[in-house]
A and B are shown apart, each in its own frame.
Chain A
Amino acid sequence: MTRSLNKKENILIAAATISSELREVRKIAREMSLGVMNAKAISHRAGDTARGFRPITDFIDEMAHEIISLVNQISKQSVKFSYLAVRHRHLYQTTIHYQKIIDQGDAVKHIKSLKKVMSKVNADSEQCRKSFIAMTRKLSTLLEDIQRSTRGAQIISATSRVEASRAEGFSQSLEVVANQVDDSTDNIRTRLQISHDHLIGVLNLLCREKW
């Protein structure tokens, strides 16, 4: 579901929400990585019966690290995104204030001097909008990269359950790990989808704007 953004104010909320969701994604990925360490220890103790589980833990560990690395990259971009959101909002507010004066037309003695300023503010706003659109698209691509990284996780969690059931004496502990992986990747996907929806909302709003 794509959230609709009707007001400029929502862009700031979207920027803050994306940052917050990404922080959560990183936290979950870190927890996954720790869970995997636990799973490795269990499968080591289980010996041959958990042989099939070991490559799965390696895969999950790799996926968690990849997510953390991508989130770290995207977090830097999302800070720039927030700055652009604030600048965009500021220029929008500025044009509203200036327009109130310009609407009074020649009744204001030195209105021409403000019209020059307004042209400059409009040009800055357009430039800001273009940068903002480019940044939004870049963030969207990075989010899609993370989403791709999590795609194999569902298959892996199903396989890990089968492998867990074979690890006699340790199957219960390994099933817990398999369930945690399942829940974590679900949670990550949901949060990435929320962020992506916000980005699409921002993008739609920016593309509709005319300065």
Chain B
Amino acid sequence: MKSTKIYDQAHEWIVFGRDPDKLEKIIDTNQYMVKVGDRALLLDPGGTEIFAPMLTAVLEHVRVDQISDLFASHQDPDIISSLGLWEEAVPESRLHTPWLWEGFIRHFGSHKIEFVPIPDEGGVIDMGAIKLQLIPAHYLHASGNFHVYDPVAKILMSGDVGAALEAPEAPMFVEDFDQHVANMKMFHQRWMPSNRAKQDWIQRVRKLDIEIMAPQHGRMFKDADVGHFLDWFEALEVGVAVP
């Protein structure tokens, strides 16, 4: 699995993905890690099927015992079905996840790890020198859903918002926004159920200073493309499966 540093200052952001050995029918995912001093936080650490390549890639950057926190934006299997495997490795770590999904996520084989339920209005993951903000993104697409904003690195981990279904060899960043729209359109129209939730999220996110918007699938958006995405998403009709 490929790992790329997208922010490398006093703390680091690393994206893991584009696994060439991934089984063909498994959706490609981006996993993120925020490394602050001796601690590391894994954001949407992924499904069981990619656990081994993901942990291999993580071990290039940190020791197992440095992983102090996990975050699951929502309950989907590609987000957190590997929990039972992580738990054996980092039983002392904490899992930050929407309160709504705790009872569901525990079905992924969790007995030891400490759950930190995130209230609907959001919260903070305190990584010591860095305080990461938990931005509500309910109904985008899950009914309890959060994104993670780093005000220092100016990165928004945006979960399924901004996602695109692409080949594993796709570039890490959007290069031509207009061309990229075709990769995102169906995903957003079908997976995102609520225009009202979408508008609410856009209003909230427009107030943030974002240099990189980092979705859980496909390419990341940089600088002006973040604004391009918000404009495009604002105009898009979602929830189209309802006749």
- A and B are partners in one complex rather than unrelated chains: yes
Interface size on B, residues (CB 8 A): 17
Contacts of B60 in A (CB 8 A): 108-110
Secondary structure class of chain A's binding surface, majority of residues: helix
Knowing A97-B52, A100-B52, A110-B64, the reply to whether A90 touches B59 (Cβ < 8 A) is no
Option from A90, A93, A104, A117 in Cβ contact (under 8 Å) with B56: A104
Contact assessment for A97 and B109 in the assembled complex, using a CB-CB cutoff below 8 Å:
no
Contacts of A94 in B (CB 8 A): 84-85, 88
CB within 8 Å of B: which of A104-119?
104, 108-114, 116-117
Contact assessment for B88 and A116 in the assembled complex, using a CB-CB cutoff below 8 Å:
no
Secondary structure class of chain B's binding surface, majority of residues: helix
Contacts of A112 in B (CB 8 A): 63
Contacts of A98 in B (CB 8 A): 52, 55, 88-89
Contact assessment for A109 and B88 in the assembled complex, using a CB-CB cutoff below 8 Å:
no
Contact assessment for A97 and B65 in the assembled complex, using a CB-CB cutoff below 8 Å:
no
0/1 interface trace, chain A 89-101, chain B, CB 8 Å (1 if under): 0110110011011
CB within 8 Å of B: which of A188-210?
none
Knowing A90-B109, A100-B52, the reply to whether A117 touches B59 (Cβ < 8 A) is no
| Interface residue? B62 (CB, 8 A) | yes
Knowing A94-B85, A108-B60, A117-B88, the reply to whether A101 touches B55 (Cβ < 8 A) is yes
Give the docked Cα–Cα distance between A117 and B65 (Å).
9
Option from B51, B84, B89, B109 in Cβ contact (under 8 Å) with A114: B89
Chain A residues within 8 Å of B, Cβ to Cβ: 90-91, 93-94, 97-98, 100-101, 104, 108-114, 116-117, 120-121, 124
